Amino acid sequence: MKQMPISTDQFDAVKRCFDAYGADITRWPTDAREQYGSTARSDELADTRHDAEALDGLLGAATPPPVSAELKNRIIAQYRRPPAVMTISDLLADLFTPRRFVPAGAFAGIGALGLVAGVFSVNASFAMTPEVEAYAYVYADSGISLDTFDEEEAVQWDED
């Protein structure tokens, strides 16, 4: 039975596995072993596998450097405990910090200014009928207000 040629992607992936995990396929992660195990044993990758075996032999023959007690103590002294798990109160305290409310306050202020401007512009654009306009012109200096008009903008005359 003829073997299918290895694609460039598979070749690169198997080469990366050889470089990262060595020639011993049993040390590869399970998914890489299942996906590329048969490809790693192929004849096309014999040179790459031989190089990985040579590097494994060299690294296996090397002795690890001795670690002094002083180095161990320094490493232990620099160890910092991980922060404790956040509680609900810590989460709420972080959630309601003043810096989080600055943008919301700015938007609320802009909204309030827009509301005030809208109210003033509606009052300033009071539709005046000719009767109201004439009354306002004639009695402008008399101190009579526009409260003398009813809902239909008709003048309310005193009954005196």
Q: Say how many C-beta atoms besides its own lie within 10 A of residue 17's C-beta.
A: 24
Looking at residue 156, its pLDDT comes to 60
pLDDT at 155 over 70: no
**For residue 30, how many C-alpha atoms fall within 13 Å in the half-sphere facing its CB?**
0
For residue 94, tell me if it sits in a domain.
no
* pLDDT attached to residue 119: 78
Strand partners of residue 149: 155
Q: Is 149 helix (H, G, I), strand (E, B) or coil?
A: strand
Per-residue pLDDT tens over the stretch 110-141 = 999 988 888 777 655 566 677 777 776 676 66
| 139 within domain boundaries | yes
The most confident of the ranges 32-46, 114-128, 144-158 is 32-46
Neighbours of 36 (CB within 10 A): 23
| C-alpha span between 45 and 14 (Å, rounded) | 9
Average pLDDT over residues 62-80: 89
Q: For residue 62, what are its two tokens?
A: 């090397």
- Does any domain span residue 88? no
* 56 & 107 share domain: no
Q: What percent of the chain shows pLDDT beyond 90?
A: 9
Q: Is residue 104 part of a domain?
A: yes
In a domain, 77, yes or no: no
- In a shared domain, residues 55 and 107: no
User: Is residue 1's pLDDT more than 50?
Assistant: no
| CA 112 to chain centroid | 29
Quick: pLDDT tens for 76-105: 999 988 877 888 888 888 777 777 778 888
Q: Is residue 89 part of a domain?
A: no
DSSP state of 28: S
Q: Is 2 inside a domain boundary?
A: no
Residues 6+ positions from 49 with CB-CB distance below 8 Å? 18, 23, 40, 41
Q: At what angle do helices 8-21 and 30-40 cross, to 10 degrees?
A: 120
> Is the pLDDT assigned to residue 31 strictly greater than 70?
yes
pLDDT at 40: 83
Domain enclosing residue 132, as ranges: 100-160
pLDDT at 141: 61
Compare 88 and 159 and report the one with higher pLDDT.
88
pLDDT band at 145 (very low <50, low <70, confident <90, very high): low
**Closest by alpha carbon to 14, among 5, 42, 2?**
42
Whether 72 maps to a domain, the answer reads: no
- Partnered with residue 35 across adjacent β-strands are none
What does pTM read for this prediction?
A: 0.38
Report how many domains make up the chain. Answer: 2
Tell me what the pLDDT averaged over the chain comes to: 79
Measured distance between the N- and C-terminal CA atoms of the chain, rounded to whole angstroms:
121
